[in-house]
Structure 1
């Protein structure tokens, strides 16, 4: 009893001393949610703000800290986040692309499986199988998809096409597309194609869609790391198309971001740009009307194919506010959250039960295309289709090719990059059924 009394007295003395020495007892942790993402352009910011508004309406007692990292497609963001996670400073949730981009975090044990959350929310019945497969590794779910973007989209200024009598249906092939470019050049529009390139990925994005146009069999071999011949006629033809494409691109492409290239089409300085349907958000915030001011269609040669880009959030291990992390994921995967975010973002809901009335005309068309697509394929450039080692090399190859237009060197570089990443190809994509 005396020993117990001594322990109690000592504890009281230490506690009182600590209070006076350090000023006060530790304060309870603030009720916060900290999220990281790379959505910084006009349309992107408006979309994530709408999603956060849904969260704050549902959880008004939680303060939300958004920490955006500028840089299209997340190429700056990725290096920032990897450093934070490795240092044990992960936020409560961060944006990631579904597919291979998730793998390094999963392999390192930086993400918590969220199978229970998927079961509680009934998500297996509302997310399509192809999307479920992209966010699962080793039989466990590690992320919640917030959208589905389409990468293979050709955007055009409708008023320019109307003015010069160009029928969009003639743009379904590369020959028809280049004939339209030549017609516009003859009319005084020297560079009818707008393209960015400041992050390199913008160039790789275009080449990726050209790869897809060479046939799904070819693209399946590419994403499974099975291409081995630099003289493969499909590979050679793809780079020859890109070489011709560059003849009509704005010369300052290397100093422009993707949204600055889209702005050229919005302003009527160019007629075309190939970019994912996040570009629709830029037209939206600029007050342009789909079917009147601008239009969109699958990039040449890719009709019936849907190139998937899926953005996700997940629960990092060691999140400072784990309960709020789960609350955020519930909203991200909810019908209400997705139907607030995607109409502005330009994407479609990852859910099969989206309220179609909330979406604009482009997205309603995209939803229909998604349901009827013959093939769905994962994007390499946007983190899903191939290992990061290859995807990173692809960006460099694309940037170099845009400058030197050396077809043989680019084809060899692609095969070399596949071989260098051979051991990293751990997913087998079955794109042709």
Structure 2
């Protein structure tokens, strides 16, 4: 169990149960909506799943919810924009005003600290026991969710953040062999230069949060799992030469990106790969659903691999749901939590969204070729917590990193100033 608030991915940590593929079986679940708090006739579910594969995943989950809890009305509280930034702002306003939704989406990990410290979410460890989740989830995941003997959210999935997506056509036209991924960051940078010389956008990226996603992938690759994880518990200084080297590679990569990046979100950047107008994009594996919806095949039309570095790393994040303090329909919220934790819910949701189940007993035979690689990576590779998606940092710390990154990528500060700002953000938020 983790006693500190910053729930980190320990170097070399893997899922204790091996691969996530298993035999399947009946749902493990309790009575869900039969709690003593009342208010089980409806549930407002607050998310940022408002478009693309995210909305498809939510729709699939709602279908299962309606089957499992036909007497509970689902109220969609989705807010679009910026990987959840718009939703988080609206959510904080509601929580401070004493108007919480019945349950809200949050990233499992340090992102929850602000809500915990403010007393805005309640301990759901009893639901873990009621739903049998301590046996269904990998031990390493339960440990990441545990804060001072309490658990404050139930995960619906696991995502990998540090995936490189590539257009087979754009890469082949530039003379790059797509059968063998680059073996190092330096080799990847050499390919970006080749692509730029061929007149194609080498690396597509979007607005600030997607740039932070790229930053974390570069730092994972450059530093390795142990040193990277140390950035969040204080054992690695943000002002060290190793971090400087990582930031230099990030600066190089940004020089190969599209000039319209600040006006785009992740679906737009991913679409450039699908259309073949850009060669590479670094994004979480929710992007795979966009390729599949465009009827593109892995290997034939696009490639996917983790950003190469010192070791093989799974950039970890998980979407999860909470039980807010003062939720108007707590039994409705418990019914939703039961569905997102169930084998049927996790199967339907993750098939649509492009993630992999948090449960180890979901049969993944139907999952895509890409998803099978994610299952294997989560079981075998070192695991590092995502910055951009709330696993490694609190909301306040992430906001400070995002502000510093925006200043840097728009030219308002130089690399030394950027590193100084990142160190200041760590100094202000570590604890």
Map residues 9-408 of structure 1 onto 2, 5 A cutoff.
31-168=41-178, 169-189=180-200, 191-197=201-207, 200-213=208-221, 214-228=223-237, 230=239, 232-301=240-309, 303-373=311-381, 375-404=382-411, 406-408=414-416
Distance 1:302 1:341, change over 3 A: farther
Supply the distance in 2 between the matched residues of 1:302 and 1:312 (Cα, whole angstroms): 30
Q: CA deviation at 1:303?
A: 4.6
Map residues 419-430 of structure 1 onto 2, 5 A cutoff.
419-422=427-430, 425=431
For structure 2, the 5+ residue unaligned runs are 1-37
SS of equivalent residue, structure 2 residue 191: helix
Who wins on radius of gyration, i.e. which is larger? 1
Q: Which has the higher contact order (CA 8 A, sep 6+)?
A: 2
Q: CA deviation at 1:410?
A: 1.3
Supply the distance in 2 between the matched residues of 1:348 and 1:264 (Cα, whole angstroms): 25
Supply the distance in 2 between the matched residues of 1:46 and 1:117 (Cα, whole angstroms): 26
Provide the aligned C-alpha RMSD in A: 1.8
Q: CA deviation at 1:327?
A: 0.9
Supply the distance in 2 between the matched residues of 1:121 and 1:32 (Cα, whole angstroms): 20
Q: CA deviation at 1:342?
A: 0.7
Distance 1:336 1:29, change over 3 A: closer
Supply the distance in 2 between the matched residues of 1:141 and 1:102 (Cα, whole angstroms): 10
Supply the distance in 1 between the matched residues of 2:258 and 2:121 (Cα, whole angstroms): 42
Which 10-residue stretch deviates more, 405-414 or 87-96? 405-414
Distance 1:270 1:352, change over 3 A: same
Supply the distance in 2 between the matched residues of 1:303 and 1:196 (Cα, whole angstroms): 27
SS of equivalent residue, structure 2 residue 308: coil
Deviations along 1:21-42, one digit per CA (max 9) or x if unpaired, are xxxxxxx989222101001221
Supply the distance in 2 between the matched residues of 1:355 and 1:303 (Cα, whole angstroms): 29
SS of equivalent residue, structure 1 residue 171: coil
Q: TM-score, normalised by structure 2?
A: 0.87
Q: TM-score, normalised by structure 1?
A: 0.86
SS of equivalent residue, structure 2 residue 196: helix
Supply the distance in 1 between the matched residues of 2:353 and 2:341 (Cα, whole angstroms): 16
For structure 1, the 5+ residue unaligned runs are 1-27, 426-433
Supply the distance in 1 between the matched residues of 2:181 and 2:304 (Cα, whole angstroms): 13
Contact 1:158–1:295 (Cα < 8 Å) also in 2: yes
